Copies of this chain bind each other. A is one copy, B any other.
């Protein structure tokens, strides 16, 4: 494909995306395919000779689209929003076009510098303390774009581990490092994202998963008790992962309580994962959730969730970038350059060496929407969740199972007065299975206080009250059919048993 064909095909692709977005309503939100569907549609080997672009695009529509779960569909209410706002698509297009790799300052200075500045812009906009900003006078902090929230949590834990081991080695210079590692213990709430568990597996450290309060919030006393107990037993607390806006039920850990507890222990790293909720702090009325962040060593949020930005765009800030990079520095000659000591080299801030020019899309988003435009989106998003909550509460057959603070409502069928917990869980599984199988609406489950609940998340950018009403109509229709219909026994069970979290993972 030469440049002139790209000029044509690129514009066709823009049109294809426009058509996709404007006709999405006519598609099923979830596909009706079984594992392996595509295998029968494609050849087993790549073509030897080039194929025409028309053939390729025709297969996109015929073979790929029938297997796509449409995250931008107005009936998609699963997981969390995943943005594809146009300015961010344009940012990624430009990034691909330039095709530079910004692993060091010298490898493409603009790529590094725009990222530093954008992270400062975002940090200020959501209200992080100056200690997290790179360009504040005297600050040792700064931010970086990682590929995912999981990476943000992992590199924070790696920095904490390096810091913890350093301290222990100083204390016990003759003890085997592996033995020191065995002493380290990290903490999170049962409501923390599974990526904390994954990070602990990768870091090869113990993770103690703590019970939150009845609202899914980890409290200071629970943490304090656990940390003291562990210290008593000879373990060494080194990392606490807290969450603002959990995945299951959008609960908020109690940072103002947790912060002072953590600070009583020497050398413990406090991380705040606000992957979903972070963008809501653009609004003054949500900033109170940030209380206690002044105790934190690191903080992450994903503009690709509640800020409409195309994935991937996970922002991580730290108050001490030297602790972060010292855990990740390796430095071969072919990557060294004469500004090594005056410039930030982002290759030391994460797992990958190479990185795209991802700050372009963040810059485009912030300028195209302005803070006011993003606030407007967040506010409508939250208001629609409240609207959904109101409808659930009006229907006696249902209950709301979380405190609705942003765009996520957890709800379930209550079941009859004589029904067992297990039976009510099964009833809700059936409801969700039937709805998802219909392709009319898509939601996913969660476990809230060990009960099976259905998560309803406000997702699409231009969602309206009518969309929420339509969703509620679909849900109640299926509920009525399930509770009163003749063939309720015929549905299949789609969801496995709830998993019990082990106390120590």
Contacts and interface: CB of A to CB of B under 8 A. Distances in A.
A492 interface: yes
A49 B372 CA distance: 6
User: What is the count of identical protomers in the complex?
Assistant: 2
A84 interface: yes
A51 B13 CA distance: 26
6 contacts: A10-B86, A38-B117, A49-B372, A56-B367, A181-B181, A248-B332
A115 B504 CA distance: 35
B181 A334 contact: no
Contacts of A63: 110
A154 interface: yes
Interface in A93-152: 93-94, 96-101, 105-111, 113-114, 116-117, 120-122, 124-125, 135, 147-151
Interface stretch (A66-74, A219-227, A480-488): A66-74
A194 interface: yes
A335 interface: yes
Contact of A86 (B1, B60, B120): B1
A337 interface: yes
Top 8 closest pairs, chain A to chain B, by CB: A178-B182, A67-B110, A84-B99, A148-B352, A10-B14, A17-B97, A338-B494, A178-B178
A55 interface: yes
A31 interface: yes
Contacts of A181: 178, 181, 204
A366 interface: yes
B13 A90 contact: yes
Counting chain A residues whose Cβ lies within 8 A of the other chain, the interface size class is 35 or more
A45 interface: yes
Contact of A364 (B56, B116, B340, B351): B56
Interface in A1-54: 1-7, 9-11, 13-18, 20-22, 31, 33-39, 42, 44-51, 53
A424 B93 CA distance: 44
Nearest to A445: B333
Interface stretch (A259-267, A289-297, A495-503): A495-503
Interface stretch (A195-203, A315-323, A379-387, A399-407): A195-203
A444 interface: yes
A330 B111 CA distance: 34
A83 interface: yes
Nearest to A109: B67
Nearest to A63: B110
